[in-house]
């Protein structure tokens, strides 16, 4: 994990434990702060709403507390906390996977499918171009270069595909048209999230180290890992359903089962070198589609969402490195520009036939510019598995793209909102 | 024998059991297969480099695997706890047995190390769960002390608890002094003073009881009479005395037991260890209180942060986390009773997962090879503890001023052992991890605790029924 030049055994265990505790306390305090009444009131200011809803406040805290600033979250602390991070990543995956209920997926309108398909195709094309540019200019020549390019491609595809499902901070208004557009945006984001979660397997799974320390793309290894994760996910889903069914009356028992499922799925995925997000999303999808106490499982998972989200963003801040090479900044600009230009256009053209029932000129018209938060979790996964300047800068690229796109999305939505008010 | 027959009868009749056994078996088989199919992490001959030519550091495989181990222990211990419960035994027995089966010691003792499910390296990374569990146990036990009850029965209760606890500690300590050196075999190099100190540790831990078992049985049976209250207060006060005594013995004899011991020894060290632990607990109480009241939507997270923080701060200051947590719980429940309700509810809901892992880790650590040698001594200590406790309770219970049925059956409440006892045994082991006697002592104590923890609660339930405070139907 991370660029941990100092191994865990070098640092005094107690010092590390105390630092882990400080990190947990900071995450808890920040999560509580963002949920407080004061924060809710301050969300009326668009810039603050963007900071809080997008998790950028937590990213900033992570950067300040991280190894490259105050060093409160030192590299050894982050290394010691990696089992906790795996649990959090698995938690994210499970929440994403639980949305994959066949009944819900069948109810998604055809326009949204078309919209998602076009968006995914464009994201893949754009990520391929960016990976090709970075592979040629940024990376050094080595036997592993092909593997690293694939890893960049997968990470940037996850970052480019989809958009943030959050719409409240954009103050979409109360009309039925705005509400319907908001629902479609969330449905599209959910579908893209599922695709991203599974694609995140490639970010970690494809690259294996040989005894000589050389990274190589091992498709058979990755296939075995994915099959193993899928089989485990199905068995766990069925087992969880059986055990949950017998403990339905006992809230704490259900918490134990959910927590254990999250830890086993993420842990096994991490052990076989697969992304915990991808494995847990598979398990979540399987759980969502077997009959059982799904609601209570979702409620338990959602209760921890603010804490897990804050942790993810803080980690991103602590692990990221600001890009050193100008080409990374150029690629970030390319990705942001493509989001600003392409995302709203694709949305408008895909939903054009429905324009009578949708507020396509309202503030939500710009909502899709903002990068999905899942992209950051995917980039964090790679940095957690292997600490290096490469994974830190790649994460930095994703964070910068996310921040810039959120900022532009929020500003353009606010302008749109003001324009409508003036017009009225 | 009748208790064993009853357990077997329950096991056979329980309809949910086949499913639970199937779930546990499947979990173990699947986890084993996953471990089998997981590719070995290569021992890197050269330092790996990243895509930019810089150094890369993959996360150690043991650390990565510990997440899966945590989930496996949690789910397995939970299901085995259900099986144990269905047999009329405490859940904790199931957790301990599962830990023992899943851990590295049993396969090693059977000569099948390749069947190990959880390795020692993975267990080492789960140490933070122990810190959290000790803190939760202390907070729960401290929260169970009612100063109003102590004020009412004060002098008599104190006399009863002091005499019974001291007698059990003395007799069991004497037995330990006699038996323990011979258990270590001819290679034993214990000096006379070391044997005496170890005997004191054995005596004190044998004198501990289980407030948690008391609370659980009161909830389960709905017992709310004088015996139930007297039992709860006596067990908590007894455990408080034992926790303080153990801390004092460790601090005074640290230099004798292990010259490399890190705690500040000497008189000031002991004073600091005890007074400091109490003070930190008392200071922490209002902070925990605020945390609990501010986090009404997520009390579990507040408890997690507060309890972990208390444990880590105490460890870093060389204080006893258990005593500090006891003190914090006591202050919260008695000085700030109204607003601490949410916090204690949070502890309750967090206890299930934490205790599952805590007891499973304890089970995984039991040295089975050593147990083959230790079991006669463990059984002897259990019998001696039961006899001494029963005799001295009968002799001194009249000081408390209870009515006759409660007076007659109070001894049954002093037999169970569980969390506090295990936490103290862990404290001894973790204070002297490298000493030659430490693992043997820990294994002996854990065996004694496991037996008392299995036999004690059914006996206490029987006592509550006979005292007229509970009925067979519950």
Question: Would strands B57-58 and A386-387 be described as parallel, antiparallel, or unpaired?
Answer: antiparallel
Structural domains for chain A? 83-306+325-386+400-423 (1.20.1530)
Question: Which residues of chain A does B72 touch, with a Cβ-Cβ cutoff of 8 Å?
Answer: 260, 264, 267
Among the residue ranges A53-62, A116-125, B149-158, B259-268, the one predicted with the least confidence is B259-268
A239 touches chain B (CB under 8 A): yes
Phi/psi for A393 (5° steps) reads: -75, -35
Determine whether the interchain pair B68/A17 forms a contact, defined as Cβ–Cβ distance below 8 Å. no
3-class SS letters over A113-176: HHHHHHHHHHHHHHHHHHHHHHHHHCCCCCCCHHHHHHHHHHHHHHHHCCCCCCCHHHCCCCCH
Instruction: Grade residue A247 by pLDDT with cuts at 50, 70 and 90.
Output: low
pLDDT one-digit tens code per residue, B195-241: 899 999 999 999 998 887 787 777 667 777 778 878 888 888 888 88
CB-count burial class (<10 Å; 0-12, 13-18, 19+) for A118: middle
The total domain count for chain B is 1
Q: Which residue has the higher pLDDT, A287 or A245?
A: A287
Q: What is the mean pLDDT of residues B361-371?
A: 80
CB of B471 closer than 8 Å to CB of B465: yes
Chains A, B: CB contacts within 8 A come to 220
B28 touches chain A (CB under 8 A): no
A299 touches chain B (CB under 8 A): no
Nearest CA-CA partner of B210 in B374, B344, B385, B349: B385
Task: In whole angstroms, give the CA distance from residue B254 to residue B56.
Answer: 43
A18 pLDDT higher than 70? no
Name the residue in chain B with its Cα closest to that of A37.
Answer: B294
Q: In whole numbers, what is the pLDDT of chain A averaged over residues?
A: 79
Among the residue ranges A37-46, B23-32, B63-72, the one predicted with the least confidence is A37-46
CB of B421 closer than 8 Å to CB of B457: no
Min Cα separation A48/chain B (Å)? 23
A223 pLDDT higher than 90? no
Q: Which domain holds residue B209?
A: 128-359+384-466
A250 pLDDT higher than 80? no
Q: What is the mean pLDDT of residues B342-367?
A: 81
Which pLDDT value is given to residue A85? 84
A25 touches chain B (CB under 8 A): yes
Which pLDDT value is given to residue A329? 93
pLDDT one-digit tens code per residue, B254-270: 777 776 665 544 445 56
Which pLDDT value is given to residue A1? 34
Burial profile B86-113: b = 16 or more Cβ within 10 angstroms, e = fewer? bbbbbbbbbbbbbbbbbbbbbbbbeeee
Q: Which of A195-209, A220-234, A403-417 shows the highest mean pLDDT?
A: A403-417
Which pLDDT value is given to residue A84? 81
CB-count burial class (<10 Å; 0-12, 13-18, 19+) for A418: exposed
Instruction: Grade residue A173 by pLDDT with cuts at 50, 70 and 90.
Output: low
Q: Is B352 helix (H, G, I), strand (E, B) or coil?
A: helix
Q: Which of 301-330 (B) contact A at CB < 8 A?
A: 301-302, 304-305, 308-309, 312-313, 315-316
Phi/psi for A387 (5° steps) reads: -80, 125
Which pLDDT value is given to residue B454? 74
Name the residue in chain B with its Cα closest to that of A78.
Answer: B59
Tell me, yes or no, whether B188 lies in a domain.
yes
Which pLDDT value is given to residue B141? 78
Name the residue in chain A with its Cα closest to that of B59.
Answer: A1
Mutate to test the interface with A, among B18, B41, B42, B68 (most CBs of A within 10 A): B68
pLDDT one-digit tens code per residue, B425-439: 888 887 887 787 888
A210 touches chain B (CB under 8 A): yes
The domain that holds B143 is classified in CATH as 1.20.1530.20
Min Cα separation B17/chain A (Å)? 11
Which pLDDT value is given to residue B225? 76
Determine whether the interchain pair B301/A17 forms a contact, defined as Cβ–Cβ distance below 8 Å. no
A235 touches chain B (CB under 8 A): yes
CB-count burial class (<10 Å; 0-12, 13-18, 19+) for A66: buried
Which pLDDT value is given to residue A12? 47
Structure tokens at B172: 């069991």
Among the residue ranges A314-323, A324-333, A357-366, the one predicted with the least confidence is A357-366
Which pLDDT value is given to residue A363? 77
CB of B55 closer than 8 Å to CB of B61: no
Determine whether the interchain pair A256/B61 forms a contact, defined as Cβ–Cβ distance below 8 Å. no
Indicate the residue of A214, A239, A268 with minimum beta-carbon distance to B34. Answer: A268
A215 touches chain B (CB under 8 A): yes
- CA distances to B139, B163, B185, B326 from B196, in Å: 31, 21, 17, 28
B26 touches chain A (CB under 8 A): yes
Which pLDDT value is given to residue B265? 46
Min Cα separation A124/chain B (Å)? 22
Determine whether the interchain pair B78/A2 forms a contact, defined as Cβ–Cβ distance below 8 Å. no
Tell me, yes or no, whether B389 lies in a domain.
yes
Determine whether the interchain pair A21/B72 forms a contact, defined as Cβ–Cβ distance below 8 Å. no
Tell me, yes or no, whether B261 lies in a domain.
yes
Tell me, yes or no, whether B114 lies in a domain.
no
Q: Is B55 helix (H, G, I), strand (E, B) or coil?
A: strand
Question: Which residues of chain B does A228 touch, with a Cβ-Cβ cutoff of 8 Å?
Answer: 34, 37
- CA distances to A258, A374, B278, B418, B438 from A287, in Å: 11, 20, 47, 36, 46
Determine whether the interchain pair A268/B312 forms a contact, defined as Cβ–Cβ distance below 8 Å. no
Angle at A188 between CA A182 and CA A193, to 5 degrees: 125
pLDDT one-digit tens code per residue, A23-80: 777 777 777 777 677 777 776 676 677 777 778 888 888 888 888 887 777 777 777 7
Which pLDDT value is given to residue A294? 66
Name the residue in chain A with its Cα closest to that of B70.
Answer: A263
CB-count burial class (<10 Å; 0-12, 13-18, 19+) for B263: middle
Q: What percent of chain A has pLDDT over 90?
A: 14
B273 pLDDT higher than 60? yes
Tell me, yes or no, whether B82 lies in a domain.
no
Indicate the residue of B48, B301, B309 with minimum beta-carbon distance to A209. Answer: B48
Q: In whole numbers, what is the pLDDT of chain B averaged over residues?
A: 80
Indicate the residue of A90, A148, A387 with minimum beta-carbon distance to B51. Answer: A148
Q: Which residue has the higher pLDDT, B356 or A235?
A: B356
Which pLDDT value is given to residue A5? 34
Which pLDDT value is given to residue B461? 81
Structure tokens at A20: 């882990």
Q: Which residue has the higher pLDDT, B144 or B408?
A: B408
B6 pLDDT higher than 70? no
B353 touches chain A (CB under 8 A): yes
Which pLDDT value is given to residue A245? 64
Name the residue in chain B with its Cα closest to that of A27.
Answer: B305
B166 pLDDT higher than 80? yes
Instruction: Grade residue A230 by pLDDT with cuts at 50, 70 and 90.
Output: confident
Indicate the residue of A28, A221, A267 with minimum beta-carbon distance to B67. Answer: A267
DSSP B49: B
Q: What is the mean pLDDT of residues A4-11?
A: 36
A285 touches chain B (CB under 8 A): no
Q: What percent of chain B has pLDDT over 90?
A: 9
Burial profile A103-112: b = 16 or more Cβ within 10 angstroms, e = fewer? eebeeeeebb
Indicate the residue of B16, B58, B67 with minimum beta-carbon distance to A385. Answer: B58
């Amino acid at each position: 994990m991370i660029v941990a030049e100092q191994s865990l055994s070098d640092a005094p265990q107690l010092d590390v434990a105390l630092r882990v505790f400080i990190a947990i306390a900071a995450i808890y305090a920040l999560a509580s702060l963002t949920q407080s009444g004061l924060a809710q009131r301050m969300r009326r200011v668009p810039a603050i709403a963007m900071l809080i809803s997008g998790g950028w406040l937590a990213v900033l805290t992570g950067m300040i507390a991280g190894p490259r600033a105050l060093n409160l979250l030192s590299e050894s602390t982050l290394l010691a906390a990696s089992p906790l991070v795996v649990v959090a990543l698995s938690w994210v995956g499970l929440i994403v996977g639980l949305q994959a209920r066949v009944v819900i997926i069948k109810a998604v309108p055809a326009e949204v499918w078309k919209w998602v398909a076009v968006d995914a195709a464009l994201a893949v094309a754009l990520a391929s171009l960016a990976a090709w540019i970075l592979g040629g200019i940024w990376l050094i020549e080595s036997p592993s270069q092909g593997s690293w390019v694939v890893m960049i491609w997968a990470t940037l595809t996850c970052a480019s595909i989809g958009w943030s499902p959050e719409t409240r901070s954009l103050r979409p208004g109360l009309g039925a048209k705005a509400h319907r557009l908001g629902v479609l945006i969330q449905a599209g984001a959910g579908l893209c999230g599922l695709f991203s979660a599974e694609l995140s397997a490639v970010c970690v799974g494809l690259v294996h180290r040989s005894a000589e320390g050389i990274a190589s793309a091992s498709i058979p290894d990755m296939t075995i890992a994915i099959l193993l994760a899928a089989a485990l996910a199905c068995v766990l889903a069925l087992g969880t359903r059986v055990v949950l069914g017998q403990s339905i009356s006992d809230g704490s028992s259900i918490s134990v089962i959910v927590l254990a499922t999250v830890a086993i799925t993420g842990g096994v995925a991490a052990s076989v070198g697969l992304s915990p997000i991808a494995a847990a999303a598979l398990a979540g999808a399987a759980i969502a589609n077997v009959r059982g106490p799904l609601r209570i499982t979702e409620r338990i998972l959602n209760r921890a969402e603010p804490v897990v989200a804050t942790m993810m963003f803080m980690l991103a801040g602590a692990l990221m490195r600001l890009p050193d090479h100008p080409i990374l900044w150029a690629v970030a600009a390319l990705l942001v520009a493509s989001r600003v230009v392409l995302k709203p256009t694709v949305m408008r053209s895909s939903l054009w036939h429905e324009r009578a029932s949708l507020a396509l000129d309202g503030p939500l018209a710009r909502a899709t510019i903002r990068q999905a938060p899942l992209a950051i979790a995917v980039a964090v996964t790679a940095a957690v598995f292997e600490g290096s300047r490469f994974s830190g800068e790649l994460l930095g690229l994703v964070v910068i793209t996310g921040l810039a796109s959120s900022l532009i999305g929020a500003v353009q939505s606010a302008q749109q909102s003001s324009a409508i008010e003036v017009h009225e | 024998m009748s208790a064993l027959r009853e357990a077997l009868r329950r096991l056979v009749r329980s309809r949910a059991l086949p499913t639970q056994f199937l779930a546990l078996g499947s979990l173990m088989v699947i986890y084993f297969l996953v471990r089998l199919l997981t590719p070995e992490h290569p021992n890197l001959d050269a330092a790996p480099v990243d895509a930019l030519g810089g150094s890369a550091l993959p996360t150690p495989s043991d650390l990565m695997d510990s997440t899966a181990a945590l989930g496996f222990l949690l789910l397995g211990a939970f299901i085995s706890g259900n099986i144990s419960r269905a047999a009329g035994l405490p859940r904790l027995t199931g957790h301990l047995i599962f830990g023992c089966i899943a851990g590295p010691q049993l396969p090693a003792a059977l000569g099948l190390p390749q069947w190990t499910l959880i390795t020692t390296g993975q267990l080492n990374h789960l140490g933070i769960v122990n810190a959290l569990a000790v803190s939760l146990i202390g907070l729960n036990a401290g929260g169970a002390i009612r100063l109003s009850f102590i004020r009412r029965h004060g002098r008599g209760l104190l006399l009863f608890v002091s005499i019974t606890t001291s007698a059990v500690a003395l007799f069991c300590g004497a037995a330990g002094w006699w038996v323990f050196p011979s258990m270590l075999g001819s290679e034993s190099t214990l000096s006379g003073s070391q044997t005496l100190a170890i005997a004191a540790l054995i005596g004190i831990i044998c004198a501990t009881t289980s407030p948690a078992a008391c609370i659980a049985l009161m909830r389960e049976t709905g017992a709310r009479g004088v015996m139930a209250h007297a039992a709860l207060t006596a067990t908590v006060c007894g455990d408080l005395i034992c926790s303080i005594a153990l801390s004092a013995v460790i601090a005074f004899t640290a230099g004798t037991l292990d010259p490399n011991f890190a705690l500040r020894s000497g008189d000031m060290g002991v004073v600091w260890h005890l007074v400091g632990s109490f003070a930190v607990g008392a200071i922490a109480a209002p902070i925990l209180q605020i945390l609990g009241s501010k986090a009404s939507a997520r009390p579990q997270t507040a408890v997690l942060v507060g309890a972990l923080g208390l444990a880590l701060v105490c460890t870093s200051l060389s204080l006893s986390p258990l005593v500090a947590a006891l003190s914090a719980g006591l202050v919260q429940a008695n000085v700030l009773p109204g607003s601490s309700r949410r916090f204690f509810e949070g502890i309750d809901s967090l206890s299930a997962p934490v205790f599952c892992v805590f007891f499973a880790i304890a089970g995984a650590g039991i040295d089975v090879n050593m147990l083959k040698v230790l079991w006669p001594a463990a059984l002897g200590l259990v019998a001696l503890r039961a006899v001494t406790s029963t005799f001295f309770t009968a002799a001194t219970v009249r000081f408390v001023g209870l009515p006759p049925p409660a007076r007659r059956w109070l001894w049954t409440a002093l037999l169970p052992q569980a969390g506090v006892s295990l936490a103290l045994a862990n404290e001894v082991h973790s204070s002297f991890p490298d000493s030659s006697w430490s693992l043997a002592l820990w294994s002996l104590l854990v065996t004694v605790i496991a037996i008392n923890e299995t036999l004690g609660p059914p006996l206490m339930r029987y006592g509550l029924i006979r005292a007229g405070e509970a009925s067979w139907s519950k």
